[in-house]
Each structure stands twice: as structure tokens, then as C-alpha cells.
Amino acid sequence: MSIVFVDPPSPPGFVSFRHSHGGYGENCRTSRLKLPTLDVFHAASLLLERGVEAALVDSVLLDHDPAECVAAVLEKDPSMVFFRTSSGSCAHDLRVAERLKRDFAGPVAFCGPHAAVEAETILQSPGVDAVVTGESPFSYLEIAKSGFDRVPGVRRKRSGRVVKNPTAAFMSQDELDALPVPRWDLVDYRRYSYVTSQTSWGCPFGCGYCPYPVTQGTQWRARAVGAVVDEFLRLRARYGLRFVMLRDPEFSLERKRTAELCSSLIAAGTPLMWGCETRLDTLDAGLIELMARAGCVRVAFGVDSVETATLAAMGRRSRGLDDIKEKVRLLKSGGMLTYGMYIVGLPRETRDSTNELIDFALELGTEAASFSMATPFPGTRLERWGRGRGFIEAKDPAHLTGCVPSMRNEAMGLAEIEELYLSAKESWKKQKEPERPRRLSSALSSLP
């Protein structure tokens, strides 16, 4: 048995980041970044550790077109192929899979959170034999041993109909602790902007526009601290890495565990510099100081909206703008780069409130910022809200992503939302971009 995992080529005119937004993915119009899709590395690495032949083709990293992707897969002579799809790229991924099927007789399966919600549609494609839902890489180990028939979460074709296996559970604590250190040498990993790691899954906050509670559940689960420290040490020793980006939905959600992890990294000699994403209201001065000593050099956080009614409607807890400013000040005083994230077009937002959001982003003075348009990812409260009101008007349903307008709100149509989104990006670029290369260069030059 030889299994190949595929991160398919980006759709024309976009750059795919399939691990973003809880695994639903993001497609950017332009980007210089090259980022891995971590879950396929977990899957391939686990199979190799357990004696199953596995390989990985990252066509986004290699800038493949569909023909080059298919050729690279066939060159590895697989028995079975898994395509990691995403919400914004699925239609294009299916075309690549159909092209592969012309020359490959073995089973082709799709995986990832979007595959789970669109399984029936995906299985209508002649290029797909099965869909694997669920987050656990141990599913692929079971498939390698016994095929698709008994593995939870699998949907497959049989005699012209779709057969559904029992629902897959989220990863257990034992499974989290058994995850191997990713085999970054499966690809030319030095071509990535940085490699990634994940120390915890799930988020109990349940903000209405966020896909993490949908794709990873509302129960917070974390790897053992010792396993994370061991991974950091191995990443430095085996691959010569200096920096890793953590993909936890909320890194500092549980203060005690965060402090324990940071203290253990310090005791291990701070093997790597690292960045994370978290909520500012879970940070305090003592924890920020500890994170800095443990090697944290970059913190991303969601501001999302400055409109109190919007945050309340979406179930977003907030301590107000003054608290955000103070936490950013503390992070900067700890030597960390700060990265604010903002959403244009959420419920109850208006032109005026959006302009206030843009002004706040500029005033906050973070080293980096991202703006996106409200995206109704499947299963979120925002998606139900928009669909129930008939507000979802995707210009191009093949690109469900934050840089393509897909949903209006009570006060603004798609054109106005896109106009404000572009205005936000341009305002940021004019005011902040000249400073950014100098600040990033200075921070990265300090890495050991």
C-alpha cells in the first residue's frame, strides 16, 4: 500500500491556504507567502511512523498547474490518493482529480472540513471515489489497513449510491499525544515562508462568524506539554528551524496550561522562536512576559468589529477598545510583533461603522493587519443568519473566501462591502506598509 496526499494547485488567479479558517481554507488574490497544510503532514507522518508507505505532493508550494500536479502524483506510483480540498478551491480541485482519474485506476478520496459538508456533491464527480470526514489522521491508518468500509467518517460510492459510515469523532487525548513530529522532509520545506505546528484544538467561545467551533468542536483539547517541547527540540535539531507558527485556534485559552508550556520551553533553552493566534482578553501582563521569554515573537488576534451590536449579535465577548489598545501596548513592550484581523460586512455594520473600524486599525499601530469580507462558512451562525435572510449572493460560489464578496447585510450590498474592503487595504498600505519591512527585518534578525 502506497498513499499519496495532495495539496492541489491553487485556482487560477488565487493563492490557496487550505489550513486557514479552521481548515475551510482561504484563497488570496495575491500573496508572497507559501504555507503548509498541516493536517496532511500529520497524516502522512503518522502512516510512515506506523510502517505504511506515504508521500506528499504540495502543488501550491511548487506552483504546479493541473498537468504538473497529476504528473507529480503519478510519478510516486500510489495505490491510493487523498486530495486535501477547501471551500474556495473545491471546484478546481475536482477538475484536477478528474484529470488524474484518466490515468490512475486506484481510489481517489477527498478530505478536509469542506469535504465533510459537501460530501454528496463531491461524490457526484467521476474523479472521486470516497470522502473522508473528521480531523483524525488515524483514519488514514485504518483505511490503509482495511479499506474504506468500516472507518468512521467515510462516505463512499457503491453500486450507484452513497454509503455513509458512522460519524467520526474528534481526536481523543491519546491520539493528540500520539501525533508524530511532522516529516517536513517530505517536501522542499525550506521553500515555505515558515512551517507550522498545533498544540491545541477546539474553541468554546463560539463566535458566530468563526469556523473553528464547527470544524474542531467547542471542547478545547490540548497536546501534552512534554510532546510540544519535544517537537520544538526536534524541529531545531532535525530541520535546523529557527521559527514555527502555531495554528491553535486560541493559544492562551487556558492560562495554567499556557504558563506551563512556556515555562517548559524556557527550561529547554527556548529552542525556537514562535508565533501564535489568540484572544487578547485571555492575556495579561504576566503571561505576556512569560510568552516572550519562551520565544514568542508574533501574536495575531481578532478585533473583527468595533460595533458593539455586531459583536453581541455574533456572540463575541469583548472588553472594549481600550483593553485592546492596552494589550497591544503590552505585547509590543515584550518585543512581539502584533497582527490585527478585521472583518468588513458583518451583521449590523454600516459604512460609518466600517470607516470607524478602518480608523481604529490604523490607530492601533500593529505591525501587520488583515482585512476580509464576512464569509458565510458552512455550519457557522453567520451562514445560517445570511441564508435565512436571503443575504448570501456569492458572485462566484467557487471562491468562498474573504477576498471575494459573498454576502450582503442589512445596510450594505456586495458592491459597497467590497468597496470598503478595498479601501481598508489601501488605507493600511499607504499608512503602514513603508514601516513593515524594516520592523519585520529587525525582529527576524534577532532570531538565534
**Are the C-beta atoms of 202 and 169 separated by less than 8 Å?**
no
pLDDT score for 365: 93
**Are the C-beta atoms of 47 and 3 separated by less than 8 Å?**
yes
Closest CA to 223 of 245, 199, 202: 199
**Are the C-beta atoms of 135 and 42 separated by less than 8 Å?**
no
Model confidence pLDDT, tens digit, residues 141-185: 999 999 999 999 999 998 889 999 999 999 999 999 999 999 999
Question: Quick count: other Cβ atoms within 10 Å of Cβ 437?
Answer: 9
Closest CA to 254 of 214, 201, 215, 317: 201
Place of cell 463575541: 316
Model confidence pLDDT, tens digit, residues 383-413: 999 999 999 997 666 678 999 999 999 999 9
The span from the CA of 375 to the CA of 116, in Å, is 18
Domains of the chain, by residue range, sit at: 2-164, 194-445
What CATH architecture does domain 2-164 belong to?
3-Layer(aba) Sandwich (3.40)
Domains 2-164 and 194-445 equal at CATH topology level: no
H helices present in 76-160, as ranges: 90-101, 113-117, 119-122, 138-146
Closest CA to 239 of 185, 197, 316: 185
| Amino acid residing at 77 | D
User: What DSSP designation does 36 have?
Assistant: -
The span from the CA of 62 to the CA of 68, in Å, is 9
Model confidence pLDDT, tens digit, residues 91-130: 999 999 999 999 999 999 999 999 999 999 999 999 999 9
Give the distance from CA 254 to its chain's centroid.
21
Question: Quick count: other Cβ atoms within 10 Å of Cβ 158?
Answer: 11
Q: 194-445 has which CATH code?
A: 3.20.20.70
The span from the CA of 379 to the CA of 369, in Å, is 26
- Residue-level pLDDT, tens digit, the chain, 448 residues: 899 999 999 999 999 999 999 999 999 998 999 999 999 999 999 999 999 999 999 999 999 999 999 999 999 999 999 999 999 999 999 999 999 999 999 999 999 999 999 999 999 999 999 999 999 999 999 999 999 999 999 999 988 899 999 999 999 999 999 999 999 999 999 999 999 999 999 999 989 999 999 999 999 999 999 999 999 999 999 999 999 999 999 999 999 999 999 999 999 999 999 999 999 999 999 999 999 999 999 999 999 999 999 999 999 988 999 999 999 999 999 999 999 999 999 999 999 999 999 999 999 999 999 999 999 999 999 999 999 999 999 766 667 899 999 999 999 999 999 999 999 999 999 986 655 544 444 544 444 3
